[in-house]
Structure 1
Amino acid sequence: MKLTTLLLPLALLRPALADGLAIEADLNATRDAMVKYRDERERAGWELVTRFEQANKSVFASEPLEQGAGTRLLNALGALADSTNVTMQAIIAVRPEWPVNMPMHFLVGTQLKRQVYAFIDMKDALLPLLFGEREESEEFDVPLDTSSVSRIADSYYQAMEAYPYTATFIDH
């Protein structure tokens, strides 16, 4: 048997091997990026809570501030806004061209869907604060300043519109 006969199949496999290595490198990069954004999302959530606590202490230094409904609403909405936006940015940064039926959809779909539903559930609580239509029976011990409310509202709508398949997460 000639040496060329043995080497020919190897030569034919070479492009497939190169493709396989490229795919493996791509998957490793994707995984690393998702881990990075997961850590960043967690850090952003804690930083957000710390910022609000510091702001509350400085604004309301003359009277003790309890962690009541207003603070919890603001912190929860803010953390969800940051978390969802970072998740969306991770998807866009890693694979902007991936359609809804690709693996990334299944990797982050459940978490993002849960976050979007949480936004929907809490949006009704936020709207009266946005438009100043608060009922007397509602107690919010921390007034929400305009910039915080606007940032949270903007994040909510950005999460809903930032990527074409966000609606798919909501519908399914």
Structure 2
Amino acid sequence: MKADEDVRMISAEAPILFAKACELFILELTIRSWLHAEENKRRTLQKNDIAAAITRTDIFDFLVDIVPRDEIRDEAGLGMVGSTASGLPYYYSPMMGQPAPPGVMIGRPSVDPGLYVQPPSQAWQSVWQTADDGSYGSGGSSGQGNLDGQS
């Protein structure tokens, strides 16, 4: 917003609304990607899961040009886990004897494994029910109230 020379001022509510919109967008894309991963009997999201979610959902049509066609074609799940169509892994571990970058511990998760609990299957439905009843726009349970000042 600030990069545009025509924009002089930004209301305090605008970044909050953009942040909430981004949160809902990422949540929806993640849920649809997770469903694709489960269809392929995997518990790890991969690029092709996100690509499949984008191609299967009309609301993500604006992203079709951004997602490379190779990832969309790879939806069948060909290849080994952790590899791309070119056969190269998505990640590289440091060679033996080389120190890891600062803050990286090799062989240990960077996040508490307790956080990787599968959400209840109906968790995403409650998000849409909340969005349908309008509580996001009216502040809902966050206590922010209606941001545009109208009741």
- Normalising by structure 1, what TM-score? 0.26
> Does 1 or 2 have the higher relative contact order (CA < 8 Å, sep 6+)?
1
Larger radius of gyration: 1
> What's the TM-score, normalizing by structure 2?
0.28
Whose helix fraction is larger, Structure 1's or Structure 2's? 1
